[in-house]
Amino acid sequence: MKRLTFLLVALATLGGVVAFRAPASGQTDAEAAPSYGVKIPPGYRDWKLISVAHEEGNLNSFAAVLGNDLAIKAYREGKLPFPDGTIIASLHYGHVSSEENNKVFGRSQSFVPGSPTNIQFMIKDSNKYEKTGGWAFAHFKDGKPGDEALMNTCFPCHNQAKARDLVFTRYAP
Ligand code: HEC
């Protein structure tokens, strides 16, 4: 009986450790995205701002476009194509009216980011992803990668920005 109690305590402790680890690492442990085998790059939330975007239509979203150091350097120096190792992230949120802020303004004029909708990445490796213009594309919703059908849409559309190395967003000073 004593042994069994010990075993149960040990198991409970182990369970506690495992349960504790999962949320602490946020979204970085997500499965690899189909098509390109990319995982969420660690530390992306601390990258520098390239620009912002708002889309209406079905998306009705805000995007914050961030870049790792290589991306920011290339943007600031106006260098194209982007060097290998460049990563550009697009963090998407709902576009919602802020009642709290509108009260202060005395009229309806404030819109703020709602819940996160998805995060998307473009990762440059001109050899590895040669077939798709040197870029891997990745999409995660609640930490889960986008399915194959969705991932097949990225390159054909971004390829329309061929003159700017498949990147649409311009640097906002
Ligand atoms: C129908 C065209 C279209 C498709 C499909 C598309 N994108 Fe984009 N993407 C854009 C446009 C236009 C922008 C810039 C405007 C904006 O952010 O809303 C953009 C911006 C981005 C950015 C910021 C860098 C840049 O090029 O401006 C990333 C990262 C990105 N998309 C990833 C993806 C991924 C991953 C997929 C596939 C799941 C995808 N996109 C599918 C048109 C598209």
Section 43-66 average pLDDT: 97
User: Maximum CA pair distance of the chain?
Assistant: 73
Distance between CA atoms of residues 11 and 4, nearest Å: 10
Q: What is the pLDDT of residue 29?
A: 53
The token pair that represents 155 in the structure block: 């390159």
The percent of residues above 70 in pLDDT, for the chain, comes to 83
Closest CA to 125 of 133, 116, 117: 133
Given a contact cutoff of 8 angstroms between Cβ atoms, the answer to whether 113 and 97 are in contact is: no
pLDDT higher than 70, residue 18: no
Give me ligand 1 centre to Cα 134, in Å: 15
- Mutate which of 58, 135, 168 for ligand 1 pocket (most atoms within 8 A of beta carbon): 168
Q: What is the pLDDT of residue 16?
A: 42
For 72-122, write each residue's pLDDT tens digit: 999 999 999 999 999 999 999 999 999 999 999 999 999 999 999 999 999
Q: What is the pLDDT of residue 35?
A: 81
Distance between CA atoms of residues 76 and 70, nearest Å: 10
Ligand 1-lining residues (CB < 6 angstroms): 53, 55, 63, 65, 88, 90, 120-122, 137-139, 146, 150-151, 153-154, 157-158, 167-169
The percent of residues above 90 in pLDDT, for the chain, comes to 80
Section 36-52 average pLDDT: 96
